[in-house]
Amino acid sequence: MKSQILILPNPSASQKEKGDFFGMLLRLIMETQRYRVLQQINFTGTEIDLLCEHLDRPRESALVECKARSAVNSADVKNFAFDIVVSKRAEYGYFVHTSELQHQALGLVTELKSGENARQLIFWGPDKVIDLLQHLGLIKAPPNLEKVHDLTPTKQLLLYTYLGRFWVTLLSNKMEPTHYHVEDALSSGKPISAEANMMISQIEELRHM
């Protein structure tokens, strides 16, 4: 089943507050690798770059690039590899993408993972990020839904939002997604608020279901 993570800060928040919300998620994730964040280099709404330093090896730096978009292109991957291997902006690079890679970007990442600089270039997709968030206790495992009324679960969204964290499972007939199931990502029995349901219903992929 496909996975995707959507990061949704409060739309009324300032640009800095949105960047801090996004950055805090990455900060927590990098702490599992024994890094601390030195600087938030860039934030554009769907992208954020952090410079980190290893807690046990103070002269070891890592550049973290996160693409929270529905599509990552090969140019994104090439620029990331250039920053680490050629420009040497850090000893290591973490390329975090919240959607699964497709086509040329996937082929390029596969090539880099087996190349001479593979040790320096680390790629984390949505499944890896979800594993790390579970390890931190920030979310529970996604619901394991079986076929419902001839509809099959085909995709799971993890929503990391200002109203909470939610699992959304898309249910499809043989042609396209037609329904979705929402569950709190911390407590499966917790009711979903009307405000959260409204926010979720406005997500582009769910809007017409």
Q: What is the pLDDT of residues 119-131, one digit of tens each?
A: 999 999 999 999 9
Decide if 6 is inside a domain. no
As a whole number, the mean pLDDT across the chain is 94
- pLDDT computed for residue 36 by the predictor: 94
- Same domain for 28 and 97, yes or no, is yes
Decide if 38 is inside a domain. yes
- pLDDT computed for residue 66 by the predictor: 97
- Same domain for 110 and 184, yes or no, is no
Number of domains in the chain: 2
Decide if 163 is inside a domain. yes
- pLDDT computed for residue 176 by the predictor: 86
What is the per-residue pLDDT across 51-84, written as a single tens digit (0 to 9) for each?
999 999 988 999 999 999 999 999 999 999 999 9
Structure tokens at 156: 């799971």
Tell me which of 81, 106, 135 is where a domain ends: 135
pLDDT at 18 over 80: yes
Q: What is the CATH number of the domain that holds 88?
A: 3.40.1340.10
Structure tokens at 175: 């042609």
Cβ atoms within 10 Å, residue 153: 20
User: CA of 36: how far to CAs of 65, 160, 206, in Å?
Assistant: 15, 21, 36
pLDDT at 133 over 90: yes
- pLDDT computed for residue 141 by the predictor: 93
Structure tokens at 93: 């690079």
- Same domain for 103 and 164, yes or no, is no
Tell me which of 85, 109, 135 is where a domain ends: 135
pLDDT confidence tier of residue 32, bands split at 50, 70 and 90: very high
* Bigger pLDDT: 208 vs 206: 206
Cα(184)–Cα(196) distance, integer angstroms: 10
Cα(51)–Cα(26) distance, integer angstroms: 11
Decide if 140 is inside a domain. no
Cα(73)–Cα(70) distance, integer angstroms: 10
- Same domain for 111 and 166, yes or no, is no
Q: What's the pTM value of the predicted model, to 2 decimals?
A: 0.93
- pLDDT computed for residue 144 by the predictor: 84
Decide if 104 is inside a domain. yes
Decide if 156 is inside a domain. yes
pLDDT at 21 over 90: yes
pLDDT confidence tier of residue 37, bands split at 50, 70 and 90: very high
3-state secondary structure the chain: CEEEEEEECCCCCCHHHHHHHHHHHHHHHHHCCCEEEEEEEEECCCEEEEEEEECCCCCCEEEEEEECCCCCCHHHHHHHHHHHHHCCCCCEEEEEECECCCHHHHHHHHHHHCCCCCCCEEEECHHHHHHHHHHCCCCCCCCCCCCECCEEEEEEEEEEECCEEEEEEEEECCCCEEEEEEEECCCCCCCCCHHHHHHHHCCCCCCCC
Q: Give residue 168's domain range.
A: 152-201
Provide the sign of the torsion angle of the four alpha carbons 97, 24, 130, 88, taken in this order. positive
> How far, in whole angstroms, is CA 46 from its chain's centroid?
10
- pLDDT computed for residue 127 by the predictor: 96
- Same domain for 44 and 83, yes or no, is yes
- Same domain for 68 and 40, yes or no, is yes
What's the average model confidence in pLDDT over 90-101? 96
Residues 48 and 20: beta-carbon distance below 8 Å: no
- pLDDT computed for residue 182 by the predictor: 96
Decide if 69 is inside a domain. yes
- Same domain for 63 and 166, yes or no, is no
Nearest in space to 186 (alpha carbons), one of 117, 140, 148: 140
Decide if 5 is inside a domain. no
pLDDT at 134 over 80: yes
pLDDT at 146 over 80: no
- pLDDT computed for residue 116 by the predictor: 94
pLDDT at 162 over 90: yes
- Same domain for 87 and 129, yes or no, is yes
What is the per-residue pLDDT across 170-199, written as a single tens digit (0 to 9) for each?
999 877 899 999 999 998 889 999 999 999
